[in-house]
Amino acid sequence: MKYAYASKTGHVEKIVRKLGLSDALKITDGTETIDGEFVIFTYTTGKGKVPKQVEAFLSHNAGIQAVVGSGSRAKSHADTFNFAADTIGTQYNVPVLARLDGTGTDAEIDLLKDAIETL
Q: Tens of pLDDT along 61-108?
A: 999 999 999 977 665 556 667 899 999 999 999 999 999 988 999 999
Q: Which one-letter DSSP state was computed for residue 93?
A: T
- CA distances (Å), origin 83, targets 24, 47, 49, 101: 22, 9, 7, 12
Give the E-state strand segments of 29-110 in sequence order: 38-43, 64-71, 96-101
pTM, whole model, 2 decimals?
A: 0.93
Question: In terms of C-beta density within 10 A (0-12 exposed, 13-18 middle, 19 or more buried), how is residue 59 classed?
Answer: exposed
